[in-house]
Amino acid sequence: MLMPGPTNSRSKCCRCEQKVFMTRKRSLVSVVDDDESVRESLPDLLREFGFEVRAFSSAEEFLTSDCVDQTKCLILDIGLPGMTGPELQQELKNRRQEMPIIFITAQRDETICSRVLEQGATACLFKPFSDTALSDAVNAALE
Amino acid sequence: MDILNRWAHPLAVEPRPERTESGDDLSARFKRADALNFQLIVESIPALVAVLTPTGQVEALNQPVLDYTGKSFEELTGWANTDVVHPDDMAPTIQSLRKAMESGDAYELESRHRRADGVYRWFHVRGFPLKDTDGRILRWCFLLTDIDDRKRAEAQLAGEKRLLEMVASGCALTDVLTALCKFVEDTSADCHCGVYLIDWSGPKFRIGAVPSLPSTFNDPCEGLTVSLDVGPCGVAALTKTQVIVEDFESDPLFQSCAIRPLSLAHGFRSQWSTPIFARDGRVMGTFAIFQTNPASPTQVQQDLIAQVTHIASIAIERALSEAALKRSEAFLAEAQHLSRIGSFAWRVATNEITWSEELYRIFEFDPHVRITLELTGTRIHPEDLTLFHDLIERATSSASDFQYEHRLLMPDHSIKYLHGIAHGTRNEDGELEFIGAVQDVTNRRLSEEALGKARAELAHVTRVMSLGALTASIAHEVNQPLSGIITNANTCLRMLAANPPNIDGARETARRTIRDGDRAAAVITRLRSLFSKKDTTIESVDLNEATREVIALSLNELQRNRVTLRSEFADNLPPVAGDRVQLQQVILNLIRNASDAMSGVDDRSRELLIRTELDGGGQVRVSVQDAGVGFDPQVMDRLFDSFFTTKNDGMGIGLSVSRSIIASHQGRLWATPNEGPGATFSFSIPFARDV
C-alpha cells in the first residue's frame, strides 16, 4: 500500500495540529459530507492511511475554515445541502484555490460523475466504496 | 208511298219457297201484313236500322240511315266499297258479318260511321237474325246506336286516367305536360296546345310543354315577362281568369300585346288561355290552346280544358313539392355525408331493412342491392361477428334501444370503426321497428388509438421513471449507512492489524458498524411503512353494487377490446366490511387483467364472466373468468409476486397489490386455470357481521 510521503512545505496555519506537526509532516485531507457516519468513519480510515484529516458537514463550513489553503486533497460529497459538491468545486476554481478533489456519492449518477471529472476532479467514488479504492484515489490525487 | 219505295224489297215479297208451294194464301196474306207492321216499326225507330238477306244483300234501310249518311239506298247497297264505315273499322265489320252469317248467331260491334258532313261517329252495331218457326234465318236485322258521346267521354276519361297515372308514377313533369297537350290536341281537332309555367321571382314564363308548336314560335315565348301587356297568358295569370281571344285580328283588347304579331305570323287567329291554380289559389302557370281559325270554346271543350288544367295543376304541384323534398333529401344526404352518419330502419318481423345513401357508402355496397342482416354480416369484422349477433339477438328479444361499436372489414382489407345508436319502436301494427344512426368513427378511433397508445407508453415510462426514482431514493438511503459500515469495518480491520493493535479504536469502529447497520435497517422499515401507508375507510360494502359500478366504468374499454361481458350476481348477497374504493380497485384490476389476457385471442369470442356468490365460511366470493391465454400452473405461486408478469408489456404490480388489499380485508385472492381456455381469478372476504 502506498503511503503518503512527508510534504516539503509546512502549512502556516496548522496551529491546531501541533502534535502531528511536531511528530511528522503529514498531508492534510479534508472531508466534506453531511452524513455523520461518513464524517465519523472516513477520517478514522484516512488516519489509518497516515493522513492528517479534517471533516466538515457543509461546503460553507469548509470554505470559512482556515484549512482551505493547507488541504492537499478534498474528499467531497456531491449531494450536499446548501452549496453542493460540484458548486464548491467551481467556487474553489473561482478563488484560484484549486486542489485535488475526490467526489463521493450515494447516488449512482454517471452523468454528474463524468461532469465533475471533466471539471478536473481526480476521482468519483460511489458509496459504499472499498478501502483500496479510496487509498488509490487519494494517492493519485497527491502524486 | 215513299216509305214503301224505300223498302226496295219488302220482306213478304220473298216468301219461303215451301210455303209458296203449299199455296196457303191466307198464310201469305198474314205474312204480308206482318211485313208491313215490321216495316212500320222499323221506320219509327229513332235508331239506324238495316235489313239484309240471309246472303248479305242490303234489302231495306230506314230513313235515319239515309239521313245520317246522306246517301241513297242504291249507293248504300254497295256499302262495303264506300267510306260509310271508317276505313280502320271496315275489315272487322265485314269479318264479323261473315262470321255471324255462317254461325247464325247474333253479334255486337262498335264501329265508326261517316255522317253526311264527313264526320265519323261511333256506333254500337247489333246484328241479329230473324228466324221462322223452324229456326231457319229469314233476314238479318241491324240496329245501329250512336254512342259517340259516350265513346268520347270514355276516351277523355281514359286519357285523363293515363295522365293521372303518369303523375302518380312520378313521371317527369315535362313528360306529363307533353302528354297532356297531345291528349287535348288529339281530342279536339285542329289545335295546338302549350303549358307555360310561371317563375314568380321574375316573374317570367317558362315553357312547360309545347309538343306541336314550332320553335320559331316557342323560342321568343321562353322567358317572357308575366305582364298584362304580354298577351292572353299574362292576363290570365295576373287576373286569375280564363282569357278567350276568338280572333287576334279583330279583338280590340289585344291589338298591341307582345304575342299578337308572333301568333299571326304563325297563322294562329285564336288563343284561349286558362290559368293553372295551385291548391292554395296561387297561379302556377297557364294552359293555352292556339287555333288557326277564329273560334271560341264549346261547352265540351271548356269541360276538357277544366279537366286538363286540373291535372296540370296536380302534376306541377307534385313536381314542385318533389323538387323541394329532393332538395331537403339532398341536404340531409349531404349532411350525412359530411358527418359520415348513415341512418337505417329495420322492421324486425319482416326483416325489412332500409338504408340511407350514406350508409351504403360507409359499407361500400352498391346502392341498388337489397340489404339483409346476412349481407351486413359479410362486412362485419370476423372478430366482431359474435358481438354483432349478440347485439341483434339482444335487440330483438328485448326491443330496447341499443348502442354498439364494431368494426367492418372491407374487401380491400381496410378496417372501419362504426358507432351506432338504435331506437326501438312499435309501429301501428305493433311490429317492432328499429330506427338508428350509424357513424363512421374510423378517423376518431384511429386518433384515439394513437392517443391511447401514447398515453399507455407515457404511463409505462412514468411508472418506470417513478420506479427508477424510487430505486435511486432507496439506494441513497441505504448506501449512506452501508458506506459507513464498510468504512468502519475496514478501519476496524486495519486497527486490529496494526502493531500493536489499536484495540480501543477497533472497538469504537465495530460499535459504529453496528450502529450503521441499525440505521440501514431503520431505513428499510421506514420505506416499507411509506409504501404501506394508507387511509382506509371501513364501511359496509355491497359487492354486487360495487362490481356493477366497476363494470359500468370498464364497459367502454371492454367494448373497445371487443370483450363480451357477462355477469352473474347472487341475490341477497350479504355486505362485507371494507374499503369500497380499494375493493373496487381490485375488481377493476382483475377485469383489466382478464381483458388483457384475451387481447391476442382471435379464434374464439373474448368472453369475460363476472360472478358474485356466497362462499363457505361466511364469505362472499367475486370471481372473474376469462377466455384468455391462461397461465402455466407451475408459475401459479409466483403470479402474485410484485414484478412477476406473463404480459409482454406488463409491470406485474397489480396482482401483488390486489392480493395485499384483499389480505388487509382478512380475505384471500387466488387464481385457477379454467377447464377450457383462460383462467379465473377469485377473491373472497368475510361478510360484515356487525355492520
B451-492 pLDDT per residue, tens: 666 555 554 554 444 455 456 556 777 787 888 899 999 999
Per-residue pLDDT tens digits for A19-52:
334 334 589 999 999 888 899 899 999 999 999 9
Residues of chain B with pLDDT under 70: 1-36, 451-474, 523, 525-537, 553, 556-557, 560, 633-654, 656-657, 690-691
d(CA B306, CA B274): 8
Residues 6 or more apart in contact with residue B13 via CB below 8 angstroms: none
The pLDDT value recorded for residue B40 is 76
The DSSP call for residue B380 is B
The CA–CA distances, whole Å, from B648 to B106, B549, B561 equal 101, 29, 17
The pLDDT value recorded for residue B290 is 94
CB of B129 closer than 8 Å to CB of B101 = no
Cα dihedral across residues B366, B367, B372, B373: positive or negative: positive
- Nearest CA-CA partner of A37 in B480, B266, B317: B480
H or E element at residue A71: strand A71-77
Length of chain A: 143
Helix (H, G, I), strand (E, B) or coil at B650: coil
d(CA B507, CA A44): 13
CB of B510 closer than 8 Å to CB of B488 = yes
User: Residue by residue, what is the 3-state secondary structure of B485-499?
Assistant: HHHHHHHHHHHHHCC
Alpha-carbon dihedral B353, B358, B364, B368, rounded to 10 degrees: 50
A76 reaches B (C-beta below 8 A): no
B567 sits in the region (left: phi over 0; alpha: psi -120 to 50; else beta) called beta
CB of A56 closer than 8 Å to CB of A62 = yes
B480 → closest Cβ in A40, A106, A129: A106
ipTM reported for the complex, 2 dp: 0.74
> Which one has a higher pLDDT value, A17 or B260?
B260
- Nearest CA-CA partner of B419 in B459, B384, B471: B384
Tell me which chain B residues have a C-beta less than 8 angstroms from the C-beta of A35: 480, 483-484
CB of A112 closer than 8 Å to CB of A105 = yes
The pLDDT value recorded for residue B347 is 87
The crossing angle, in degrees rounded to 10, of helices B148-168 and B299-339 is 10
Cβ separation A106–B475 shorter than 8 A: yes
C-alpha cell at B666: 382478512
Cβ separation A35–B484 shorter than 8 A: yes
| CB neighbourhood size of B646 (10 A) | 18
| CB neighbourhood size of B462 (10 A) | 10
d(CA B509, CA B515): 10
The pLDDT value recorded for residue B465 is 44
The DSSP annotation for B566-616 comes to EEEE-TTPPPEEE-HHHHHHHHHHHHHHHHHHTTT--SS-EEEEEEEEEET
User: Residue by residue, what is the 3-state secondary structure of B312-374?
Assistant: HHHHHHHHHHHHHHHHHHHHHHHHHHHHCEEEEEEECCCCEEEECHHHHHHHCCCCCCCCCHH
A66 reaches B (C-beta below 8 A): no
Question: In this structure, which CATH number among 3.30.230.70, 3.10.20.30, 3.40.50.2300, 3.30.565.10 belongs to the domain A28-142?
Answer: 3.40.50.2300
A41 reaches B (C-beta below 8 A): yes
Cβ separation B512–A107 shorter than 8 A: no
The DSSP call for residue B225 is B
d(CA B70, CA B524): 137
A38 → closest Cβ in B484, B498, B515: B484
The CA–CA distances, whole Å, from B367 to B354, B370, B415, B484, B627 equal 11, 8, 21, 83, 40
Sort strands B137-146 and B270-277 into parallel, antiparallel or unpaired: unpaired
Which residue has cell 403470479? B639
Residues 6 or more apart in contact with residue B338 via CB below 8 angstroms: none
Q: What percent of chain A has pLDDT over 70?
A: 83
The pLDDT value recorded for residue B432 is 85
Query: Is residue A11 predicted with pLDDT exceeding 80?
Result: no
Helix (H, G, I), strand (E, B) or coil at B566: strand
d(CA B165, CA B180): 12
Question: Among all residues of chain B, which has the CA nearest to that of A131?
Answer: B490
CB of B256 closer than 8 Å to CB of B235 = no
The CA–CA distances, whole Å, from B227 to A25, B222, B243, B286, B646 equal 130, 14, 14, 13, 89
CB of B114 closer than 8 Å to CB of B88 = no
Distance from CA of A41 to the nearest CA of B (A): 5
Helix (H, G, I), strand (E, B) or coil at A54: strand
Q: Provide the greatest CA pair distance for chain A.
A: 43
Tell me which chain A residues have a C-beta less than 8 angstroms from the C-beta of B474: none
H or E element at residue B426: strand B415-426
Which residue has cell 431503520? B522
| CB neighbourhood size of B333 (10 A) | 16
The DSSP call for residue B687 is B
Question: Among all residues of chain B, which has the CA nearest to that of A77?
Answer: B480
The residues spanned by each domain of chain A are 28-142
Tell me which chain A residues have a C-beta less than 8 angstroms from the C-beta of B472: 107-109
The CA–CA distances, whole Å, from B455 to B420, B452, B529, B590 equal 26, 5, 31, 21
The pLDDT value recorded for residue B90 is 92
Per-residue pLDDT tens digits for A95-115:
999 999 999 988 777 888 999
d(CA A110, CA A119): 14
CB of B142 closer than 8 Å to CB of B42 = no
d(CA B321, CA B461): 63
- Nearest CA-CA partner of B615 in B623, B607, B625: B623
H or E element at residue B607: strand B606-615
Distance from CA of A46 to the nearest CA of B (A): 9
CB of B77 closer than 8 Å to CB of B57 = yes
Residues 6 or more apart in contact with residue A55 via CB below 8 angstroms: A30, A31, A32, A33, A39, A42, A43
A114 reaches B (C-beta below 8 A): no
| CB neighbourhood size of B494 (10 A) | 21
B424, HSE (Cβ side, Cα atoms, 13 Å): 16
Cβ separation A45–B487 shorter than 8 A: yes
Residues 6 or more apart in contact with residue A10 via CB below 8 angstroms: A21, A25
Helix (H, G, I), strand (E, B) or coil at B244: strand
Per-residue pLDDT tens digits for A46-100:
999 999 999 999 999 999 999 999 999 999 998 887 788 999 999 999 999 999 9
Interface of B with A (CB under 8 A): 472, 475-476, 479-488, 490-491, 494-495, 498, 505, 509, 512, 515-516, 519
